[in-house]
Amino acid sequence: MRNEAGRQMKNVLVTGANGFIGKELIRVLANNGYSVRATVRRAESALPSGDTLTWFVTNDLANQENFSMLNGVDAVVQLAGRAHVLKETATDPLAVFRMVNTAGTLNLARQAAAVGVRRFVFISSIGVNGAFTRAGECFTEQSPPAPHNPYAISKWEAEQGLLEISRETGIEVVILRPPLIYGPGVKANFLQLLKWVESGWPLPLGGIQNRRSFLFLGNFVDAIRLCIEHPAAAGQTFLVDDGEPVSTPELIRAVAYAMGRSARLLAVPGGVLGLAGALLGKRAAVAQLTGSLLIDSSAIRSRLGWTPPYSLQQGLDATVAALKRA
């Protein structure tokens, strides 16, 4: 596939390549004929290089001045950044997020534009739109931004800076905002949910009537690969999900099905759950389990012709299978 200038986009730089998304992305790209340059922060995190994969160490994107790995690159996928921190220790979290996610991204983009990189794909977050949606509503690309925490603010500011760099230099920017991503190797709250279901203990979530959008890792990597190449992706912001929103009880039943067992759910009022979360210091985790976050990903489907290659259940099956192997 070629971009608007007719140039094949086969030389790709992937930053943060040893992360949850990066590992799968570089595997898929290398297996599909791309020449991949992958960056990590520490040399010991790199995998062996090969004919289609070369590793570089970049530990400070915000202040680095020589990005030699950009020479000859057609497209950059910017995954590197500071993600959600469960136990924040920084005295000024926003400043740290801005340094890594905003300044680091914009420095890399400027350097990429300077050496003739054609396209810059930025992995942002649905948090730019907000933390929750109200009943009957969903986020779209036209929804007003409402970043709700330092992480989301840093992503939003990076988006705005990238669009300005694009206007100044002509580099094609593509922005992707995913919701919670699950798949083999998932961690944090989703992994905890898997372990709860696996334990067989009854979960007090049977009465929750929310709707949440999720995104399987395999689907996201497929969408990223399309956005590297597709001419119509240039200059666009896309929301991406599986297209199968579910309630928390429905998600638990699907996970239990993948594990070959029955879900054990108790109907506890949401107010009681909220109070318990506040008392236990788990307010955010409870809100994620009980609240709604619904997105409309029809834009990427209609403009790029993208269809998720995996269903929600297939994604959960793969996630559970990986958990059992581990």
List, by residue number, the catalytic residues. Answer: 151
- Please state, in angstroms and rounded to a whole number, the distance separating the CA atoms of residues 247 and 162: 35
- Please state, in angstroms and rounded to a whole number, the distance separating the CA atoms of residues 130 and 154: 13
Residue 219: both structure tokens together? 């689907």
> Which long-range contacts link 36-45 to residues 24+ away (Cβ below 8 Å)?
36/12, 37/11, 37/12, 37/13, 37/69, 37/73, 38/13, 38/14, 39/13, 39/14, 39/15, 39/69, 39/80, 40/16, 41/80, 45/18
Tell me phi and psi for residue 14, to 5 degrees.
-115, 115
96 and 90 in contact (C-beta within 8 Å)?
yes
- Please state, in angstroms and rounded to a whole number, the distance separating the CA atoms of residues 304 and 312: 21
* DSSP-derived secondary structure letter, 231: G
